[in-house]
Amino acid sequence: MDNNVQNSNKQNLIIVFLIFMSVVTACTSPNSPTFHLVPAPVEMKIMAGYYPLDSVKCIVKGIDAIVEKKIDTTLTELGSEGYLLQVTSSAIKLTASTIRGIFYGKQTILQLMTANGIPCVEIKDYPRFSYRGIHLDVSRHFFPKEQVFKILDEMAYYKLNTFHLHLTDNGGWRIQIDKYPQLTSLGAYRSMKDWDKWWENPVREFVTKDTPGAYGGYYTKDDIREIVNYATERHIEVIPEIEFPAHSDEVFIGYPELCCQGKAYTSGEFCIGNEQSFTFMEDVLTEIMELFPSPYIHIGGDEARKVAWSTCPKCQGLMKRMNMRQLDELQCYMIMHAEKFLNAKGRIMIGWDEILKNVLQPSSIVMSYRGEKGAIVAANRGNRAVMTPGEVLYFDWYQADPATQPKAMYGYSPLKKMYSFNPVPTDALTASRNEELISSKPVSSDTVAYILPENRCNIIGVQGSTWTEYIPNAAHLEYMMFPRLLAIAEMAWTPQNIREWGNFKKRVNAHLPKLKARKINTFMLSDVIELTSQVCSDKTVKVTLDTEKTSVEIRYTLDGLEPCENSTLYTRPFILTKETTVKAALFKDGKNVGIPLYKVVGISEDIQNYYEYINEAI
């Protein structure tokens, strides 16, 4: 079947589904400021009435049958992705300067559909950032193209436009390269599925596809073309990542001569003193560029251990010839070579923030994953940067109490924490708040770096990143990505000054049943109650309780008794005048659900003395 026909049929099915969902879920109140749109639009005026939907017409002809579309190239203020939407009881008019803007306007229309029709609104909308990204590691665990298509569908629905495909790493090589067939015949399958068991094995064994128990896979070139075409139809750019000079154990299974000891299973880094390493890099990148039309190629550049380089005669010889004093300079040497090669081919290099050790070309882009500092340094140097700090924007971190969740990586990054990050810290206060999210401890605004206001445009976007050591299948992948992907979408599209957690929380809750109906195995939000306390100048403490779910009540006690369905209902922050044990629990339909909270809240003696001092008469 022709791709366009398939896409049309799929869109028709989406329309039918959304109409159905509007019937079976609670209709949005006309007083709602956003009608549960994610991401929230820049400007929205709500008017009385609805445009009535002819479901038969929608099913037969699709959304284009009910929308008057217009391309107006004079609408420069909207950029290339913005749109104007006007819905009245008699017409739907969608105007944009490009077809991309029309596409995003149509996503908004799809989200606006209710059982009553499409509400009458006027919307002016455009994205905050040009790079609105999702990253997927397919090396640690391989995901077939059909799962990639499913993610791309959701990205388009939420106006995300960049898919960063991490194709190579220690867990396996995942893309066909004609000139080096053993990358996939020997490096795409391993002996164990369980990541920890395989990784901790003294020999992390790779095997051939026909070996009993072989686990892995790779994309053929035709698979990649399908993925790129599928993404392009949804106005999503696919950026490939091929790792250099580290994270390359799988390369040396078939081509051991490219590592320092010339033997498989001895190193994860290329031998920088071996010219063959650079021939390999150029050959592979050439085939990659033939498959991916994106101007951007990600070369990794992170976490080189450098141990083998310190004793390798070839690497040491290169250091002597080039007057290098530190092993880091070997890494910089390979990154510089990649940058020059890509630039000569008309492409732009992206790398993880270790590439800041290089003197980069102005065109190169830094992806800041070790906190926000890499992006701040890059932006102030004049390079563009993408924010994806691991402690805040990684989907593989825990999103609820680890005791209730499947094994995940390292720390804790729930929905609110992710949503609260501001990707453009142009003052010390914003930067320190970000650092507090990142480090989970107080940070003084006197100790942080920030982006100079004149360099704010060098932050081109944000990315939610998904590393898959502990994500072995599609259902688990969706569980970790959703609904946190919606936080990334709003952070990337909606202006900072209109983003607000309480409003976003309501909209995310409204999207959960829709995600489930689209067969997305979304996490249904945490049962954790969050308590925050703020010491006031009168030596009292203001206590705020919060939870991700809107379908539950928070009830609490301050007298030591266990909360019950008749305990005080939390509706607003409350004040404590002395040390108190706060006990709280979630209730739904009179039943206790979720995880209870017990916390002693008080004021330290130092804080009391401080406020007594500052309140003294002058």
Provide the pLDDT confidence category of residue 17 given band limits of 50, 70 and 90: very low
Final residue of a structural domain among 216, 234, 266? 216
Residue range 534-548: mean pLDDT, rounded: 91
CA–CA separation, 96 and 79 (whole Å): 9
- Residue 596: cis peptide before it, omega within 30 degrees of 0: no
In the prediction, which pLDDT does 584 show?
A: 98
The span from the CA of 243 to the CA of 247, in Å, is 6
Residue 62, pLDDT score: 76
Q: Say if 403 falls within a structural domain.
A: no
Q: Is residue 370 part of a domain?
A: no
- Quick one: CA dihedral 429, 431, 434, 438, positive or negative? negative
Residue 13 has pLDDT above 60, yes or no: no
Looking at the domain assignment, is residue 464 inside a domain? no
Residue 365 belongs to some domain of the structure: no
Instruction: Name the percent of the chain lying above pLDDT 70.
Output: 91
Q: Give mean pLDDT, residues 279-294.
A: 99
In this prediction, residue 63 carries a pLDDT of 83
> Is 534 part of a structural domain of the chain?
yes
| 119 & 182 share domain | no
Backbone φ, ψ for residue 482 (5° rounding): -115, 140
- Give the Cα separation of 388 and 191 in Å (integer): 32
Confidence check: pLDDT of 595 > 80: yes
What average pLDDT does this structure show over 89-112?
97
CB burial readout 557-573, b (16+ within 10 A) else e = bbeeeebeeebeebeee
Give the model's pLDDT for residue 602: 85
pLDDT tens, position by position, 352-393: 999 999 999 999 999 999 999 999 999 999 999 999 999 999
The pLDDT-based confidence of 65 (bands split at 50, 70, 90) is confident
Residue 115 confidence class, pLDDT cut points 50, 70, 90 = confident
Q: Are 72 and 96 in contact (CB under 8 A)?
A: yes
Do residues 74 and 182 both lie within one domain? no
pLDDT band at 243 (very low <50, low <70, confident <90, very high): very high
Please report, for the domain that includes residue 552, its CATH number.
Answer: 2.60.40
In this structure, the answer to whether residues 79 and 183 fall within a common structural domain is no
Q: Are residues 22 and 99 in the same domain?
A: yes
Query: Same domain, yes or no, for 182 and 111?
Result: no
What gap in Å lies between CA 235 and CA 163, rounded to an integer?
10
Residue 135 falls inside a structural domain: no
Which of the four pLDDT bands, split at 50, 70 and 90, describes residue 16? very low
Q: Which residue has the higher pLDDT, 127 or 21?
A: 127
Residues 345 and 295: beta-carbon distance below 8 Å = no
User: What are the CA-CA distances from residue 175 to residues 151, 222, 224, 460 (Å)?
Assistant: 19, 10, 8, 28
Mean of per-residue pLDDT scores for the chain: 92
Integer-rounded Cα Rg, in Å, for the chain is 26
Residue found under tokens 């398939």:
6
Same domain, 107 and 183: no
- The residue from 160, 192, 216 where one domain ends is 216
Mean pLDDT of 282-310: 98
DSSP β-ladder status, 296-300 and 348-352: parallel
Q: By C-alpha distance, which of 17, 59, 58 is closest to 157? A: 17
CA distances from 243 to 37, 256, 274 (A): 37, 16, 17
Q: What is the 3-state secondary structure (H, E, C) of 14-80?
A: HHHHHHHHHHHCCCCCCCCCCCCCCCCCCEEEEEEEEECCCHHHHHHHCHHHCCEEEECCCCHHHCC
Residues tagged active-site = 303
On whether residue 96 sits in a domain, the answer given is yes
DSSP assignment letter at 114:
B
Check pLDDT > 60 for residue 612: no
pLDDT band at 168 (very low <50, low <70, confident <90, very high): very high
pLDDT at 185 over 90: yes
Determine the structural domain holding residue 207 and report its residue range.
177-216
How many domains does the chain fold into? 3
Same domain, 120 and 191: no
Do 36 and 98 lie in one domain? The reply is: yes
Overall average pLDDT of the 460-478 stretch: 99
pLDDT at 498 over 70: yes
Q: What is the mean pLDDT of residues 27-53?
A: 80
Which of 123-132, 197-206, 270-279 is the least confident region? 197-206
Q: Is 57 within a domain?
A: yes
* Residue found by looking up tokens 């397919």 in the block: 138
Q: Is the per-residue pLDDT at 617 higher than 60?
A: no
pLDDT at 27: 41
Question: How would residue 425 be classed by pLDDT, with cut points 50, 70 and 90?
Answer: very high
Q: What is the mean pLDDT of residues 478-484?
A: 99
115 and 193 belong to one structural domain: no
Whether residues 9 and 119 share a domain: the answer is yes
Q: Domain boundary at 216, 233, 266, which? A: 216
Residue 57 confidence (pLDDT): 61
Entry pTM: 0.93
Find the CATH number of the domain harbouring 15: 3.30.379.10
Judge if 115 and 182 occupy the same domain.
Answer: no
Asked if residue 245 has a cis previous peptide bond (ω within 30° of 0), the answer is yes
